[in-house]
Chains A and B, each alone.
Chain A
């Protein structure tokens, strides 16, 4: 199984400041034949299901604000919220869809307002 490890487990950021979440996979998620990284990011607010934010490591889902961005390749990935808003308080998960058939998630990173 591919193990996904996020850091930190939680972080507190002031409104308007940058939040950065890291995700490391135990093996490369880069499929060389198409140069795509099989990595997605989800946002889960309290009492709600997760919501897809980013896929292919850096492609924003339709309707997702451009303050959310994804980067990285291979085994190391980052989700950045460029200017934290109150509505961004949530738990964020990375997920690999490279390994067939089992899909695995990171343990989650809780983002709060400082």
Chain B
């Protein structure tokens, strides 16, 4: 059974960088697309971007200037960085698997989520 687990600081100061890592177990990290999705408290879901073990990531245009995603197959991990954070970046961040090696597929495995609060 594929499992995903997010890790990283739960509190980030405004203007600093949010960094999260997702560890994948129970399956290969290669041959699938991986994504981050966030959910502000009490609100809906926002897709952040995709990463794959080859090629360049794709990002939500609304966040593209501040987001970097990367993947390390040797560690079965992928990561997210969001720079210059504000209170609007406070959310539960989910790492998620796309159900195939093509982005036009649904999201089939989700981590439990990591709450990141932006506050001084």
Residue from the list A61, A93, A98 in contact with B44, Cβ < 8 A: A93
Is A52 a contact of B58 with CB atoms below 8 Å? no
B53 CB–A CB distance under 8 Å: no
Q: Closest B residue to A99 by CB, please name it.
A: B104
CA distance A95 to B58 in the complex (A): 18
CB neighbours of A107 from chain B (8 A): 44
Is B107 a contact of A40 with CB atoms below 8 Å? yes
Q: How far is the CB of A51 from chain B (nearest CB, A)?
A: 7
Is A52 a contact of B104 with CB atoms below 8 Å? no
What number of B residues sit within 8 Å (CB to CB) of A? 23
User: Per-residue CB proximity of A13-28 to B under 8 Å, as 1/0?
Assistant: 0000000000000000
B15 CB–A CB distance under 8 Å: no
Is B61 a contact of A97 with CB atoms below 8 Å? no
CB neighbours of B61 from chain A (8 A): 102
A77 CB–B CB distance under 8 Å: no
CA distance A38 to B44 in the complex (A): 20
Main secondary structure on A side of the interface with B: loop
Is B111 a contact of A98 with CB atoms below 8 Å? no
B83 CB–A CB distance under 8 Å: no
State the A residues within 8 Å of B (CB): 38, 40, 42, 48-52, 55, 61, 93, 95, 97-98, 100-108
Q: Which 4 A-B pairs have the closest CB atoms?
A: A101-B58, A49-B110, A40-B106, A103-B47
> 20 new A-B pairs (CB below 8 Å) besides A50-B110, A101-B50?
A40-B106, A49-B110, A49-B112, A50-B107, A51-B110, A61-B108, A95-B107, A97-B103, A97-B106, A98-B104, A100-B58, A100-B104, A101-B58, A102-B47, A102-B61, A103-B35, A105-B44, A105-B45, A105-B47, A106-B44
- 13 A-B residue pairs with Cβ-Cβ distance under 8 Å, sorted by A, are A50-B107, A51-B110, A93-B44, A95-B107, A97-B105, A101-B49, A102-B47, A102-B60, A103-B35, A103-B47, A105-B45, A106-B44, A108-B45
